[in-house]
Every structure is written in structure tokens, then in C-alpha cells.
Amino acid sequence: MSELYIRVAEDENEEPMEIPSEDDGTILLSSVAAQFPGACGLRYRNPESQCMRGVRLVEGVLHAPENDWGNLVYVVNYPKDNKRKMDEIDAASAVKVKRGFQKTSDLIVLGLPWKTSEQDLKDYFTTFGEVIMVQVKRDLKTGNSKGFGFVRFTEYETQTKVIAQRHMIDGRWCDCKLPNSKAGPDEPMRSRKIFVGRCTEDMTTDELRQYFMQYGEVTDVFIPKPFRAFAFVTFADDQVAQALCGEDLIIKGISVHISNAEPKHNNSRQMMDRGRFGAGGFSQVGECRYLRVVLFCCY
DNA sequence: GTTGAGCGTT
């Protein structure tokens, strides 16, 4: 089949974009996600029933309905609210996850000097990015600062960066955290990286990327060489990663087990180095022994 | 007029 393009849009009434198909007439989800980051599938309006229909998606490959893409405009699907384990329902669950983009939220700023004003706060935090709002909480009667406040940024990336480090404000070290959470510069942010156990040797980074794309935007796939029967997949969104932990997923007919990627070492160097987007080195401590047993049995 | 872990008057 000759190369053809299908028309894909973010919404039925939006301007469509042409996405190339593969030689066999299928479309790779990655081709769609290249134009629509975070996409997890396609749908279209069935001309007969006038109902929306989903396009068959098998391990990252989109298949034409009736083996013919026709002249329809296909609409991008994005991950809805990610499924979460019951015990993980907390403040973060209120955050709506849409196309890999997270809204910012107010951050509490702890440890402010008594003298620090809202203008001081704004001047300081603007060096990280655009600031929407700052507050210094004060005693109503005296007007004295209570030593803490709030800040909100326009960009989620700015928020991530600000939470990940300590702040010297008017001569005191201050911490910025999500309200009512203990996640701060001392506590690593919830990992965006998952450990994929029971991988087989024929699974490629591309295939894993294709597969995991259905859950959210994938930013990295790492397969240790030589073959060690596991891999790491990093998502743009930590909630996607966390939601998958504990699951057994079928990839190429093989049941793989998803668990949290643990920091490789907890030495001080890495704690210091952990910057904007969390730790660099990860391993999976929980299943090391299990893997060793499996490998031992195999040989 | 003080203080130093915390969690937001409107």
C-alpha cells in the first residue's frame, strides 16, 4: 500500500493535521503523539450511526476501521483521569490530568522572615518564572507576618523547579511545598519513572514506548544492556506512573509487572544533585532478590 | 516590642 495520510484533529471542528501511515496501512500512535503530545488513541464519527467510534489500538499500532481510513477526520483521544489506587486518593487526586499537562496549584512558603513582604516574595519568585499570586499571612490585629505565605506560578515546570530546591529569602532558608503534603526538597517528588519487571529480550525501547504511550506521554525508555529482564519507563506525569504501579500488564503476550522505580543510591551526592526533574539514577530494590532467584533458576 | 513548626479571615 502506498504511503497515505489521514486527517487528525484535536476536536471535530478544529483544523485537521495530516498524519502519515505505515507501509501496511496502519498508523503508529507515536506518529499521532508526535503532533499531539500525550495522545493515547483516535476516534471518529461513524457516518451511518453518527456515533463516535474508537479506532482499534493494539500495542501502539492504530488499525483502520474496515481496513480503510477513508476520508474521515479522526479525533485525538487523551488520557482521562488516571485510575488510582484507593489508598492513593489524596489532595493530588483532585488534579485533573489532561494531555500530559498539569495545572499549577498554590504552594505554601514556609520559614519566611518576619520582615518579608509580598513584594519581596514576588520579586524573588519571579526569577524562576511568571508569578500569578503571592500572599504573606499576617496576624489580623497586629499585621505581623506569621512567617509563611503562598505563591502560585503560571507554568507547571516553574512550580516543579521551585518545590525541588530550598530558597534563601531575605536571609533565611525557606521551603516551598504543596499545601498539606510533606513533599519538599528533602522528600523526592513522586517518581515519574516506573520499573517494568519480567521483560523479555525481544522487547525494544520503541515497542515499550509505543505500548506505554496509551497511558500518557512517555519521556524516556531505558533498557539495561546486557539484557537484565527489566526496563525503566518515564512518563511526563508522575500521576500516570504512580497509577500504573502494582499492575500486571501484557506486552507482546508477556505479563510484565510494574512497580515504582526506587532511587539507585541514597548518597548525599545524588540528594544534592537532584534538581528540577527528580532523581537521575533509579533501580528497583524490592524485586532484586526475586529477579536473582528467577535468573538462578533459569541457569 | 517576643517566636521558627506549620497549612490559607475576607
Mean pLDDT of A213-223: 90
Judge whether residue A146 contacts strand B, using its CB and a 7 Å cut-off: yes
pLDDT of A298 higher than 50: no
pTM: 0.52
Which tops the pLDDT comparison, A287 or A226? Answer: A226
List the nucleotides on chain B closer than 7 A to a protein CB: 1-10
Q: What is the spatial distance, in angstroms and rounded to an integer, between the CA atom of A124 and the C1' atom of B1?
A: 28
pLDDT score at A157: 85
A123 phi/psi in degrees, rounded to 5: -60, -45
Work out if A229's Cβ lies within 7 angstroms of strand B. no
Query: Is the shortest CB-to-strand distance from A111 to strand B under 7 Å?
Result: yes
**With a 7 Å cutoff on the CB, does A281 touch strand B?**
no
Rounded to whole angstroms, the Cα distance separating A123 from A131 reads 9
Alpha helices (H) in A36-185, listed in sequence order: 118-125, 156-163
- Would you state the pLDDT for residue A2? 60
Work out if A135's Cβ lies within 7 angstroms of strand B: yes
Task: Provide the CA A140 to C1' B9 distance, Å, integer.
Answer: 8
Three cell numbers, residue A92: 493530588
